[in-house]
Amino acid sequence: MRLTRYFLPVLKETPSEAQIVSHRLMLRAGMIKQASAGIYSWLPLGYKVLRNVERIVHEEQQRAGHIPMLMPTLQSADLWRESGRYDAYGPEMLRIRDRHERDLLYGPTNEEMITDIFRSHVSSYRDLPMTLYHIQWKFRDEIRPRFGVMRGREFLMKDGYNFDVDYESAIHAYNRHMVSYLRTYERMGLQAIPMRADSGPIGGDDTHEFLVLADTGESEVFYDAAITDLKFGDRKVDYDNRDECAEIVKEWTTPYARTDETHDEAIFNQVPEERRRTSRGIEVGQIFYFGTKYSEPMGATVVNREGQHVPVHMGSHGIGVSRLLGAIIEASHDDNGIIWPEGVTPFHCGIVNLKQGDAEADRACEQLYDALTAKGLEPLYDDREERAGAKFATMDLIGLPWRITVGPRGLKNGVVELTSRKTGESEELSPEVAVARVAEIYGK
Amino acid sequence: MRLTRYFLPVLKETPSEAQIVSHRLMLRAGMIKQASAGIYSWLPLGYKVLRNVERIVHEEQQRAGHIPMLMPTLQSADLWRESGRYDAYGPEMLRIRDRHERDLLYGPTNEEMITDIFRSHVSSYRDLPMTLYHIQWKFRDEIRPRFGVMRGREFLMKDGYNFDVDYESAIHAYNRHMVSYLRTYERMGLQAIPMRADSGPIGGDDTHEFLVLADTGESEVFYDAAITDLKFGDRKVDYDNRDECAEIVKEWTTPYARTDETHDEAIFNQVPEERRRTSRGIEVGQIFYFGTKYSEPMGATVVNREGQHVPVHMGSHGIGVSRLLGAIIEASHDDNGIIWPEGVTPFHCGIVNLKQGDAEADRACEQLYDALTAKGLEPLYDDREERAGAKFATMDLIGLPWRITVGPRGLKNGVVELTSRKTGESEELSPEVAVARVAEIYGK
C-alpha cells in the first residue's frame, strides 16, 4: 500500500478523552474513531489488525477441530426466557422491540441460541463430540464504557460451545480449548496466563480466565513467576489425544496463578517467596465447563451408548477479539507509539523514502515495494512529500516491526537501512539482502 | 473435512415455510436455520459459502483501489437527525434506546457515519480521490420478511462510499464501481446485468441496479438480449484510467436494460423485436452517484485546487452479500439440489466411499484426501457408514461441483470415478489423474 492512496488519519495531539495508553495510541495512529459511547468505527489500519487477530483465532480453532459458523447479532427474547436468563441478565442486556412489538435483544453471548440449534438437529451420541464456534459482534450496555476497545459496548468476540456425551469428554473439550488458546495468544505475541476464575453469569464449575500482564489491567493477579517461563512454542499437538492435552493443561495450571476473585493467601504463601508476584492483568479470554446448566432446562438431550436419553454436557469458551488489540498495545509499546508483534502487524514492513521526487530514490523504493510484494509480503510505502522526521514519527507511531529507509546517500553506496521498531537497531544492507531478510523473518 | 467430524444437518423433508427454491435448498442442505423472523444462523456449510462470497467482494474491491474498514452495527440517532433521515426513514429502521435513554438505531446503511468520519479527518483535495468500504451486518425491519436470506431482516452487505473533489472524478468512481462489480459477479458464476434504476431513499441522480435473471426475482425487467452475450472475462483493467472504465461502462449500458421502475416502452420498441426480452430479476447490488446530498447538510467540505471550500462529491455502492447466496442458488440448481459455481463452492470436491470399512477403499479415500489437501484444495470426504444412494443424494443436495467416487470394484482396475455435478458426466481415471484434473480445474 502506498500511503498517498491510503486513509491513515494520524493525530498529532493526544486525545484528552483517552485514559490509557492503548486507547490513546489507537486514536493517534488512526486505527479507530468513536461513533457513540463505547461504539467504534475501525479505520483501515485498525481493521487490518482486527482481521489478523481474527484470522489467527480462526486458524487455531480449526486446528483444534472446532467448526466455524455464524449466529446473528439479534436474538429472540423467547429463547432467553427458556433458560431463565432474560430477566436475570440485568441492564447490560440491550433490549429491543421490533415493529411488531416482539422482544429482541442484541446478543451478549450465545449459549441459548447454540443449544437451540443443537437440540433441533442432533440426537445421538454418535454425532459427538462437537464444538461449534463463531466470531461475531456482541453488545453489552456497559454503564460507563471506557478504555477504548478494552471496555466497549459493541465488541467482537469468538465464542465456542462444546457438546459432549459425558463429563470426561467435556473435560477433554475444556482442556483442548485451553491448549488451543495458549497457542493462539502466543502467535499474537502475547503471554496470556490461565488463571482460576469465577464463573459469573455464564455459570458452571470449572473456569479459567486468560490474563495478559499489564499495569492498566482491570484485575489484580497473583502468580508464581515460574509460569512466565513456560513457552508453548511450535509443539505439535494431537488435539484428539486426551492425555496429551491434559498434560499440557497440567503444565500451565500447576504453578499458582489466580485473580483476586479466587486468590487464596494460604496457598500462595507456599510458593517460594522470591517467585511470588502480584501484578495487574487484562482478561483476554475465558473457558467454562458448565455441564447441563443449559441443556437440561432447554431439553438438549442425546441418546447415549446405552440407549438412554441424557442431557448433553456443555462448556463455552470465549476470546475477546476486539479487546485483544488494546491488550496487545498495552503489552507492547514505547513512548513513540505501538510496537506490533510480527504475528498481527497490519503491514509487514514500512518503506521510508527520504527524498521523494528524487528519481533514484523513487525508483529504489518502487523496486523494494515490488520485491517485497512478490514475496507475499505487504509493505506500507510512505511516498508522501514530507520531511524525514515526520515520516519516521508516523512509522514509529503505527508500529510496523520493520522499516526500510531509502535515501540518495545510501543508494550511492548501494545500501538501504533496515531498522527494528522494537530495538531501534539499524543495519545497512543491499536492497536485495534487506528484502531477503524481511522475507525470512516472516517465513516467506 | 471428514463428514463424520462436521456438522451438516441435511433435512429429508422439504420445509413447508419455504416458498422459493433457494430458501428450500438452503434449509435442506443444512446451510441456515431461522433464529427469528428474517434472522438466520449460518450453519457451517452456509457460513463457508458466505465467507467465499465475502472474500471475492474484498478482493475485487481492493483490486479497484478501494480501502477496507469497518463501521459498527449500531449508530447514534443524532447523526441521522443531521441528515434529516431519522424521521424520514420510516418503520423499516430498527430504533433502539439504551440504558441511558439515548436513541440508537441498527444501521440499514452508512452514508451519515462515513460522512462524519470523512469530515473529521479530511480537508484537502490532495487526499482525494478516496473510496472507503466495509462489509457489515445491517438491519431492515421488513414488515413481512420472507424468501429466506433473500429478504431477511439482518443481512450482510458491502457498502462503499466514494469521495471526490468534483463531478467528473465522482463519475469515474461510479464507473470504476460498475466495472469492478461486473467482475465480482462473474467470479461468483453469476451474470448480473446493470439496469437503470430509481434511487429510492438513498437519493441521487445516477443509479444502476445489478440484476440476476431468475423466475423468482422481485422485479420485472426488460432488456436487449445482446447484453447477455457480454462477458467480462479476465481482461486486465487499469482502474485509474477514466477512459478505460468509461468504455467498459458504455459497453454494458448501451444495450437496453431496465427494471419496471424506469422502463420506457418507446425506447424498448427500438430494440429489434427478436432481441426484446421480458423476464424477472433479483437485485444483488446497486450503485449511486448523489453528489453533495450528504456532504452539504453535514458540512463535509474540502479545499480544492483553487483554494475554495467545496462540498465533496459522493456516491454509495452496495453488494448484497448474504442475499447473493440465495441469488446464486436461484440461478444454479436442479431437482436434486444446489449446483455451486466453482468460485464460491464450500468444498472443492466431494469424496464418496462406496464401502466404508473396506480396508482398500478406506485407504484409497484417505490418500485422495491427502493428495487434494496437499494441492491446496479442500475436499469433503463422506466417511459415514451409509449406503451409496444416501451419500450421492447428500452430495447432490449440497452441490459440490465435483465428486470422486471410490469403490472396491473400480479400485481393482486402478480407477476412481470423477463426476461433474452440473452435467452429471462421469469419467474413470486413476486416483492420481483425478487429483490432477480437479487441481487443474481450480487453477491449483
Q: How far apart, in whole angstroms, are the C-alpha atoms of residue B177 and residue B64?
A: 8
The minimum CA-CA distance between B125 and chain A, rounded to whole Å, is 12
- With the C-alpha atoms ordered A271, A277, A279, A284, is the resulting torsion angle positive or negative? negative
Residues A180/A64, Cβ–Cβ less than 8 Å: yes
State how beta strands B349-353 and B379-382 pair.
Answer: parallel
Mean pLDDT rounded to a whole number for chain B: 96
Rounded to 5, what percent of chain A is helix, strand, coil? Answer: 35, 30, 35
**Hey, is B414 helix, strand or coil?**
coil
- For residue A302, the one-letter residue type is V
For residue B113, pLDDT over 70 is answered with yes
When the candidates are 3.30.930.10, 3.40.50.620, 3.40.50.2300, 3.40.50.1460, the CATH number that belongs to B3-338 is 3.30.930.10
* Predicted local confidence at residue A202, as pLDDT: 57
Residue ranges of chain A that CATH labels 3.40.50.800: 349-441
Distances from the Cα of B106 to the Cαs of B73, B155, B404, B421, in angstroms? 6, 11, 46, 40
How far is Cα A124 from Cα A229, in angstroms, rounded to an integer? 43
Determine whether A282 is exposed, middle or buried from the number of CB atoms within 10 Å of its CB (0-12, 13-18, 19+).
buried
- pLDDT tens sequence for chain A (444 residues): 999 999 999 998 888 888 899 999 999 999 999 999 999 999 999 999 999 999 999 999 999 999 999 999 999 999 999 999 999 999 999 999 999 999 999 999 999 999 999 999 999 999 999 999 999 999 999 999 989 999 999 999 999 999 999 999 999 999 999 999 999 999 999 999 999 887 666 555 689 999 999 988 989 999 999 999 999 999 999 999 999 999 999 999 999 999 999 999 999 999 999 999 999 999 999 999 999 999 999 999 999 999 999 999 999 999 999 999 999 999 999 999 999 999 999 999 999 999 999 999 999 999 999 999 999 999 999 999 999 999 999 999 999 999 999 999 999 999 999 999 999 999 999 999 999 999 999 999
Closest partner residue to A47 (CB to CB) among B70, B73, B153 is B70
Closest residue, chain B, to A105 (C-alpha):
B96
In tens, the pLDDT along B418-437 reads: 999 999 999 999 999 999 99
CB contact under 8 Å between B106 and A35, yes or no, is no
CA separation for the pair B164, A105 (Å, rounded): 39
Residue A43 main-chain phi, psi, to 5 deg: -70, 165
Of A231, A254, A249, A287, the C-alpha closest to A66 is A287
Mean pLDDT of B57-71: 98
Side-by-side strand order, sheet with A402-406: A379-382, A349-353, A402-406, A416-420, A426-429
The CATH homologous superfamily for domain B349-441 is: Anticodon-binding domain (3.40.50.800)
For residue A76, the chain B residues in CB contact (below 8 A) are 35-36, 39
For residue A63, the chain B residue with the least C-alpha distance is B1
Three cell numbers written together for B315:
456516491
Grid coordinates representing A302 are 442425546
**What does the pLDDT read at residue B200?**
65
DSSP string, B114-131: HHHHHHHH--BGGG-SEE
Q: What does pLDDT average to over chain A? A: 96
Are A7 and B50 a contacting pair at CB < 8 A?
no
Give the pLDDT confidence score for residue A14 in this predicted structure.
Answer: 83
DSSP string, A67-126: EE-B--SEEEHHHHHHHTHHHHT-TTSEEEE-TT--EEEE-S--HHHHHHHHHHH--BGG
Residue B17 has pLDDT above 90, yes or no: no
Q: What is the ipTM of this complex?
A: 0.96
Q: B79: which 3 cell numbers?
A: 447523526
**Residue-by-residue DSSP string for B70-98:** B--SEEEHHHHHHHTHHHHS-TTSEEEE-
d(CA B95, CA B75): 10
Q: Which residues on A lie below 8 Å from B134 (Cβ)?
A: 47
pLDDT at B427: 97
- Chain segment A160-199, per-residue pLDDT in tens: 999 999 999 999 999 999 999 999 999 999 999 999 887 6
Q: Name which of B355, B374, B345 is nearest B412 in CA terms.
A: B355
For residue B113, what is the nearest residue in chain A, using CA coordinates? A35
Mean pLDDT confidence for B366-381: 98
Distance from CA of A330 to the nearest CA of B (A): 22
A315 near A288, Cβ under 8 Å? Answer: yes
Cβ of B72 within 8 Å of Cβ of A5? The answer is: no
Question: Which one of A41, A72, A120 has the shortest CB-CB distance to B39?
Answer: A72
What distance in Å separates the CA atoms of residue B122 and residue B127, rounded to the nearest whole number?
7
B78 to chain A: nearest residue by CA? A36
Q: Give the chain A residue nearest B90 (alpha carbons).
A: A99
* Whole-angstrom distance, CA of residue A377 vs CA of residue A395: 17
Chain A residue numbers with beta carbons less than 8 Å from the beta carbon of B325 are none
Among the partner residues B68, B71, B153, nearest to A41 by beta-carbon distance:
B71
Q: Which of B3, B10, B74 to mutate to test the interface with A (most CBs of A within 10 A)?
A: B74
In chain B, residues under CATH classification 3.30.930.10 are 3-338
pLDDT tens per residue, range A136-166:
999 999 999 989 999 999 999 999 999 999 9
**Confidence at residue A200, expressed as pLDDT on a 0 to 100 scale:** 65
DSSP B172-228: HHHHHHHHHHHHHHHHTT--EEEEE---GGG--SEEEEEEEE-TT-SEEEEEEGGGG
Chain A nearest CA to B420, separation (Å): 27
Which residues does B406 contact at the CB level (< 8 Å), separation at least 6? B351, B352, B353, B354, B361, B364, B365, B368, B416, B417, B431
Name which of B36, B42, B130 is nearest A7 (Cβ-Cβ).
Answer: B130
| Residue pair B80/B103 in contact by the 8 Å Cβ criterion | no
Structure confidence at residue B198 (pLDDT): 75
Q: How does B163-174 read in b/e, with b if 16+ C-beta sit within 10 Å?
A: bbbeeebbbbbb
If one counts every other C-beta atom within 10 angstroms of the C-beta of residue A12, the result is: 8
Work out the minimum CA distance from B318 to partner chain A, whole angstroms.
19
Task: Count CA within 13 A, CB hemisphere, residue A169.
Answer: 15
Looking at beta carbons, which residues of chain B come within 8 Å of A72?
35, 39-41, 137, 154
DSSP for residue B16? T
Q: How many other C-beta atoms are found inside a 10 Å radius of the C-beta of residue A2?
A: 15
Query: How far are the Cα atoms of A152, A320, B72, B185, B376 from residue A57, in angstroms, in the given order?
Result: 20, 10, 21, 29, 20
- Give the A:B interface size as CB pairs under 8 Å: 141
The end-to-end CA distance of chain A, in Å, is 18
Identity of the residue numbered A350: G
CB A131, CB A160: distance < 8 Å: yes
Per residue in B173-221, pLDDT (tens digit) is 999 999 999 999 999 999 999 998 876 665 556 899 999 999 889 899 9
Mean pLDDT of B227-245: 96
Read off the pLDDT of residues A228-255 as tens digits, 9 standing for 90 and up: 999 999 999 999 999 999 999 999 999 9
> Does the bond joining A129 to the residue before it have cis omega, within 30 degrees of 0?
yes
The mean pLDDT value for B327-350 works out to 97
